[in-house]
């Protein structure tokens, strides 16, 4: 089994009209054995940016500690919150620094630019190559399923409620056909004014 699927995960980020969403499954497994159904892979960087990390769980925790420290230092130095684009490039360079002994995560980043209020969504590979997307990005152990669901369900300019429904349906129906991920989901919707977090119960077999 690949090291990228050792812990199993499924996540996606999607753009709506003046809003973005990240959805992720909530299970942690090790080699196919379920450890927990309440594992956190998505984190709020600040009120404008969030990051979800698929891949090896230890690196998710190591890197989140690192990113949190870096963004706090950024805020102290600059006296403003980091923008989604700047944060994505910070993540990218952190990953590329380990080019020949990488951290085994594929992050998805979603946010709203604090200046332009435009939604921003991107993902990177394990060595930090940024792929910016105008609609959605996916990561984890069932990306084929996720791409299929997103391609069929995505519509441009969804409002926050529509975006939640689309993202939730796309994720849940993708990971229900994946043995390594699932067991519940969490969806974060970010608008310029608020963050809406909803947990979803799904099939647990």
The residues of the shown chain that bind another protein, judged by CB under 8 A, are 7, 28, 30, 33-36, 38-39, 56-58, 61-62, 65, 101
Nearer to another protein, 17 or 72 (CB): 72
The CB-of-26 to another protein minimum distance in angstroms stands at 11
The residue whose two tokens read 């993202």 is 167
Rounded Cα distance, 139 and 141, in Å: 7
For residue 42, which of 200, 187, 194 has the smallest C-alpha distance? 187
Other CB atoms closer than 10 Å to residue 19's CB: what's the count? Answer: 24
Nearer to another protein, 35 or 195 (CB): 35
The CB-of-22 to another protein minimum distance in angstroms stands at 21
Nearer to another protein, 26 or 145 (CB): 26
For residue 124, which of 163, 158, 96, 151 has the smallest C-alpha distance? 96
Q: Sort strands 185-190 and 136-140 into parallel, antiparallel or unpaired.
A: unpaired
Rounded Cα distance, 200 and 141, in Å: 19
The CB-of-40 to another protein minimum distance in angstroms stands at 10
Nearer to another protein, 38 or 194 (CB): 38
Other CB atoms closer than 10 Å to residue 118's CB: what's the count? Answer: 14
The CB-of-82 to another protein minimum distance in angstroms stands at 24
């Amino acid at each position: 089994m690949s090291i990228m699927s050792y812990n199993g995960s499924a996540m996606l980020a999607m753009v709506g009209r003046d809003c973005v969403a990240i959805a992720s499954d909530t299970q942690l497994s090790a080699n196919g054995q379920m450890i927990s159904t309440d594992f956190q892979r998505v984190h709020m960087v600040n009120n404008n940016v969030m990051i979800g990390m698929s891949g090896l769980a230890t690196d998710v925790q190591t890197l989140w500690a690192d990113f949190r420290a870096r963004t706090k230092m950024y805020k102290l130095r600059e006296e403003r919150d980091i923008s989604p684009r700047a944060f994505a490039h910070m993540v990218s360079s952190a990953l590329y620094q380990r080019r020949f002994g990488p951290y085994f995560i594929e992050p998805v980043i979603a946010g709203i630019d604090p200046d332009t209020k435009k939604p921003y969504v991107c993902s990177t590979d394990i060595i930090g190559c940024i792929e910016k997307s105008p609609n959605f990005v996916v990561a984890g152990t069932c990306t084929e399923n996720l791409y299929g669901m997103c391609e069929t369900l995505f519509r441009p300019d969804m409002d926050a409620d529509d975006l939640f429904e689309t993202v939730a349906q796309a994720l849940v129906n993708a990971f229900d056909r994946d043995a390594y991920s699932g067991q519940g989901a969490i969806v974060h919707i970010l608008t310029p004014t608020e963050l809406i977090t909803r947990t979803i119960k799904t099939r647990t077999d």
